[in-house]
Each structure stands twice: as C-alpha cells, then as structure tokens.
Structure 1
C-alpha cells in the first residue's frame, strides 16, 4: 500500500520543484544526511506570505531598551550594537503599559518604524495577560473580573491604534502557561481568543499565537493544539515558536510542520508559523540546560562554543535558504509552512525582560556565527 501522500501546502511546494506527489512519503522521512544536489538548490516558498509582501521597519527610540546605549556608543562597541539595534524586531507591550497609554506607545512605534510609509510592516509582541508567569502565575490564580475588563480595554485601545498599519504580531509569548491555569480553567485561553478576534478585525494585522517551543512541548503536536485551539488559531495566520527558548531552527521547523499538519487534520487548514531566531545562534534544548536561571542562560564566549546563547539567523522570510543548514526535508517543510524567522526574543535584556545589559549584548553580538 502506498504511503499517504503529502497534502496542502507541502504538496504544493513539492509540485513547484518538480517532485511527484503521488505515493511520496512526507519529508518527515528524509534522513539528516540527505544533502543531495537538490538540498543545495533553490526552494522557493509558496506565494501569499504576508510577511514577504512588505518591507520591515526598524524602530529607533526609547521603547527599545538597547536604543539609548547604542546612541551613546562609539567605535567597536557601536558596530557590535548595530547587530541588535538595526535589525527589525518585535517591540513588546504588556501590563507595564497602562490602558490609557498603549495607543500613544503604538503610534510612536509606527511613526518611527515606518517613517510615514504606509507600506512598511511593524512588528510587536503582545504580552498583556495578568497573571501569567513569574511571581504572579496563572498556575496559582486566575484573572479577576477587574483584570479581565482591563485586559479587554487595553486590547481594544491597542487594536484601534494599529488601525490599518501593516503589523506582524506575536500574541502572548510563553503560550504553554495557558495549560497550567488554576483548576484547569480556560479563562486565560478565552482572553487570548478575545485578543485574537479583536486584532484580526484589523485589515492588515498578521497574528501568530505563541505555542511555546519544540523542546518545551517535547515535540508533541497535541500539546501545541491544546494551546492554540481554544486561543483562536482558526481566526489568525498561524502560530509562533521559541520566543524565550534557544531551540534550533531545524527542530522548530520539524515541529511547526507537524503542528500545522495536526491542525489540518482537525479541519483548521493553511496555518503557518514563525520562529524566533534572536537567541539561538548556537542552539540547545531547554531540558538539557544545566546552568542557573534559564531565562538568563549562559552566553557564548567565542564563535566556536556550542550550546550557549548568541544571536541567531537575522530576520528573514527566506526560510528555505540552504545557508541555514537545514536538510532537504526541513527546507521543504519551511517553504510550505514557515512565514519567517523573526526576532521577537530579547536575549540582550536581563532575564529577557529588563533591564538592558551592555556586557551581555556585546557578547551576543561578538560571538554570533550569523553576522
């Protein structure tokens, strides 16, 4: 009996490069050593990627904690910080921005990043859930009625400020925390769903709901679906991985394809993903890390060191490029399902949160193998 043929986006990619679809097993079966001439050749991602349709803006201003130190730097220090500050990155917004202030913050982000050009795309991460992680965990308590009302008001204000701006949005980084909600409550997931519905009503907002990372979820697609389905995945472009982890692009591409295929089996078709590559230049799995404070994991000390934190692949939609070291099977899956490798992590900040740490930032920039 013939193996199940690939379907949907993956089969379209195979047809475009001249691979017969009937009776061909999914590229999940291709071995890592399958570096044939085909593996080195061009594989063009499918058309219709909203991230590839617009230039990406770079925000330069005080909302980026690396910006002010960069303005004061000179010489070699300035050159190294260029590798961080001058990349198109997602600006994070959360509970630290008041309901009444979020619109103004977004207006300033858009003004700087677009320079007034309405065709430019802006990137942001929405991290507004309270409680969520850290000292105030959703595992221990649920949002109060007042917190739910504030969340919805904040989301409405943010959506109104975005308007028709082209935006790539990561919705609620560290998505697996929804699975530990007290007493198994779905309230946090319903709140994310509210945000997904509200933001997706904007004509040019492309949303990716965070679903953790391959290592976080032990590469189990069912875990990602438990996060995504109640959070409104059917209403948005897709999902995001690796926002605060350091897992490899190869692992995330394999996992992302498996999750997209699992969603399709549930009738949720044509979903795509993005991977954070700001911090996985020398990737490692979270459950193998032996040092203290995973959120502030050890940085690489030189370009030859492995399994440590350094800057990864610069932001791009060229997801199937052979330069990224993917196997042929992974490149095919990236072309079919990955919209981009983006920078929505912040490894140059303490605990990936605050404040900016100059020594850490310079080390990340000095040791990256990708720039």
Structure 2
C-alpha cells in the first residue's frame, strides 16, 4: 500500500512538473524562492529561470509516458532551476539586441536577476569543441554594443566570455611571435568591460578558469591586465566540476593576490592553491588589508559539481578530457546569493546542465566516447543520458 501510494505521488508530481515546465517554467518558483537570498547583506536576489532547452521538454514527456515519474520530475526540477542564458553571435546585431531586451524585460517583470553568459569573442575555445565567435575585433565590439543596448537600464549579471582569459590564443599555439591575437583578446575584453560596466544595472565578472587549471600566480596577471578593477570580480568553474570548498579557497587566494598586486606587490609572493593552507592564511592576514567590500568578489558555477571532478581510469585513454562529458557526475548546490562568504557573491548554474560538452573522443579515433560507449551529442545539444545522471547523482539531492 505504501509503495503504491509513493508511485501515485511520484506520478502526480511528474505530471504537474511537465505541465508547469510547458507553461513557461513556473515549476522553478520554489527554487527561485529557495534562491532568494542576500548578497553581502545588501538585499535579496531572486535569480531568473530562462526557458529550457526544447529537447528537455521532449525527454520529460517521454519519461512520463514510460512511467519513469521520479526521473521526469527530477529533470523538470533541474531545468526550472535558475541558470544562465548563453548568448552567441548570429550575424545580425539587431537580433541580439532584441533577444537581450526580451530576457532582461522578462526578468524585470519577475523581479529576478538574469545571468547572461556572453560567448562570442573571436577565436573562442581555441577553435575546439565550441569554436566560433565574432570574425574580428571590430565585429565583436559591434556585438557588445548591441548587447549593452539590449540591457539598457535594466539589471543583469554578466559572465563575460568563458575561457577568454584562462585560454588565451597564446596558450594554444594560435598566436604569432608578436602576440597579436592575445593583445587583441585583451582589447576585446577591455572594451566589453568598459561598455557593459557603464550600464547602471549591470555587474560584470571576468574569467578566472578554475582551481584545477591555472595557479593563482598565473591567472592574477591576466585578470589585472583585463581590467578587473572596473568589474565586480571574477567567476570560477564555468562548465567544470571542481568542488565547492576548493573553489572558495582558490577564489579567496585570487582575490587577495589581485589586491596585493594592484597595491604594488609582486605576484611571485602570492601563495598558490597548492601552498600550505596555514602559511597561505598567514600571508593573507599580513598582506591583504582591504575590506572585503573593496576586494574583487567572485561567483562559482555549481551546475555539475555535486560529485566533484571525474578521475579517469589510469592509462586507459590517451587524452582523458576529464572536463568533457565525464560520466556519473551530479548537480551541485542550488543557485543562491547567500554563500556565507563576503567575497563569494553567488553560486550559479552557469553551464546549462543537461547540455553536452561536445564529441568527446579522449584521444581515440572514435566515433564513440570510450568512457560512455556511445557518440556524444555536439556541444550545446541536449544529452538525455547525462541529464539523468546529473539528476540522480545531485548533491544535495533535488527536492521531490
């Protein structure tokens, strides 16, 4: 009797979730309420829930039809949780202005803060899985102008160009001996910062990779050169899987080192994330004197880090690509601006959970992903198998 009752409740929840998802995402209301939090004591922040990937609706409907009610409700809950809207170039600047205007208008109507991930810088992703972007600096600047016009005077949190600073053209052999493309990258980011930060309701965060990538001493000079003093700070872990504690510590070290360097200090004196923590804390106490309100702040992507990073089997793949559709990962902490850390402005879902990272071959000839035994969807396409993994392995678990 108890088992039957649970099945009935699950079925009703799944059907309700499907109806709400189809009806403009109202199922996210509970998660938005859960995410209404205080940012550094300055007031509540409700985060915006964009429309889901259309293929997510299809998956939910198919799960309901197959009577997989718990999974259906879980996927519905996932796609109606606040998350970023990714904006790319489409060859028509007027269309991006209209799209941005619609998003910020809808968010304002809901009294919510939209998170916009701008992803159109020339040579993005070193021309790998997510290759594309504007053709040149002039085209990129024109695109940024249209984004800014679309925002107008409304509120928006900008995640500016994932991988733009952690993966410079010089990092992947795309640049010439004079560093022409890397210099252009800094100019493009500088222009975006200047243009977007001038909007009264816009907050901009710069790319700082994640705690398993660049050392503190490596990423800080890039942030300084990109003009971090004119932004709210930086973001960490976009589309990656590093654990919350690791990210929070890395963010604290990066913030402290930026403040130290901007005060005339040598970046070589900053502790890295691999330094002894007691020694690093002592260094911060001695050398970082600014009030937390005056230091660079950071936000983190917790969309898929519930189980932390994937550890590939030893010597099984020529190039494990631990960032690319790793198996058995889970959703992370729900988006919120209440982090308990004065430097940590928010946990966000920057990467859209359920969308593929690309065709992951892990150094093999393919066409299958050897870690999954299947051909992964192209970058940005819905990945039903991964969506179910994220839901089932969520940490903390999704509410029923």
TM-score of the two chains, using structure 1 as the length reference: 0.71
Kindly indicate whether the alpha-carbon contact (under 8 Å) linking 1:215 and 1:247 is maintained by their aligned counterparts in 2.
Answer: yes
Matched, 1:60 2:57: no
Matches within 5 A, 1:336-351: 336-351=342-357
Alpha-carbon spacing, 1:339–1:285, altered in 2? closer, same or farther (3 Å): farther
CA distance in 2, matches of 1:282, 1:138: 24
Number of the residue aligned with 1:369: 395
Shift in Å, 1:96: 4.3
1:109 aligned counterpart, secondary structure? helix
Match of 1:167 among 151, 156, 175: 156
CA distance in 1, matches of 2:311, 2:92: 33
Kindly indicate whether the alpha-carbon contact (under 8 Å) linking 1:167 and 1:206 is maintained by their aligned counterparts in 2.
Answer: yes
Shift in Å, 1:188: 0.4
Number of the residue aligned with 1:26: none
Matched, 1:87 2:81: yes
2:339 aligned counterpart, secondary structure? coil
Matched, 1:135 2:163: no
Kindly indicate whether the alpha-carbon contact (under 8 Å) linking 1:274 and 1:342 is maintained by their aligned counterparts in 2.
Answer: yes
CA distance in 1, matches of 2:160, 2:222: 12
Kindly indicate whether the alpha-carbon contact (under 8 Å) linking 2:252 and 2:343 is maintained by their aligned counterparts in 1.
Answer: yes
Number of the residue aligned with 1:188: 185
Larger Rg: 2
CA distance in 2, matches of 1:97, 1:58: 26
Q: Deviations over 1:220-269 (max 9, x none)?
A: 22222132112221111010000022111111111100111111112374
Number of the residue aligned with 1:215: 212
Number of the residue aligned with 1:298: 326
Shift in Å, 1:154: 0.5
Output the aligned Cα RMSD.
2.9
CA distance in 2, matches of 1:137, 1:365: 24
Alpha-carbon spacing, 1:354–1:46, altered in 2? closer, same or farther (3 Å): closer
Number of the residue aligned with 1:316: 336
The range that moved more, 128-137 or 68-77, is 68-77
1:351 aligned counterpart, secondary structure? coil
Task: Give unmatched runs, 5+ long, in structure 1.
Answer: 1-43, 301-308, 321-334
1:207 aligned counterpart, secondary structure? strand
Kindly indicate whether the alpha-carbon contact (under 8 Å) linking 2:233 and 2:296 is maintained by their aligned counterparts in 1.
Answer: yes
CA distance in 2, matches of 1:162, 1:313: 28
Match of 1:126 among 115, 118, 122: 118
Number of the residue aligned with 1:262: 257
Match of 2:167 among 145, 158, 177: 177
The range that moved more, 200-209 or 89-98, is 89-98
Matched, 1:250 2:250: no
CA distance in 2, matches of 1:182, 1:104: 34
CA distance in 2, matches of 1:182, 1:363: 39
CA distance in 2, matches of 1:165, 1:78: 35
Shift in Å, 1:59: 1.5
Shift in Å, 1:60: 2.1
Shift in Å, 1:78: 3.0
Task: Give unmatched runs, 5+ long, in structure 2.
Answer: 1-37, 264-293, 359-378
1:177 aligned counterpart, secondary structure? coil
CA distance in 2, matches of 1:192, 1:70: 38
Kindly indicate whether the alpha-carbon contact (under 8 Å) linking 1:129 and 1:172 is maintained by their aligned counterparts in 2.
Answer: yes
Number of the residue aligned with 2:382: 356
TM-score of the two chains, using structure 2 as the length reference: 0.66
The range that moved more, 76-85 or 336-345, is 76-85
The range that moved more, 147-156 or 126-135, is 126-135
Kindly indicate whether the alpha-carbon contact (under 8 Å) linking 2:49 and 2:83 is maintained by their aligned counterparts in 1.
Answer: yes
CA distance in 1, matches of 2:142, 2:198: 15
1:121 aligned counterpart, secondary structure? coil
Matches within 5 A, 1:92-111: 92-96=86-90, 98-111=92-105
CA distance in 2, matches of 1:133, 1:249: 24
Number of the residue aligned with 1:303: none
Kindly indicate whether the alpha-carbon contact (under 8 Å) linking 2:335 and 2:348 is maintained by their aligned counterparts in 1.
Answer: yes
Number of the residue aligned with 1:152: 141
CA distance in 1, matches of 2:312, 2:115: 29
1:202 aligned counterpart, secondary structure? coil
Alpha-carbon spacing, 1:107–1:97, altered in 2? closer, same or farther (3 Å): farther
What is the number of residues matched between the two proteins? 293
Kindly indicate whether the alpha-carbon contact (under 8 Å) linking 2:117 and 2:162 is maintained by their aligned counterparts in 1.
Answer: yes
CA distance in 2, matches of 1:288, 1:110: 44
Matched, 1:272 2:281: no
Alpha-carbon spacing, 1:279–1:164, altered in 2? closer, same or farther (3 Å): same
Kindly indicate whether the alpha-carbon contact (under 8 Å) linking 1:102 and 1:157 is maintained by their aligned counterparts in 2.
Answer: yes
Kindly indicate whether the alpha-carbon contact (under 8 Å) linking 1:276 and 1:344 is maintained by their aligned counterparts in 2.
Answer: yes
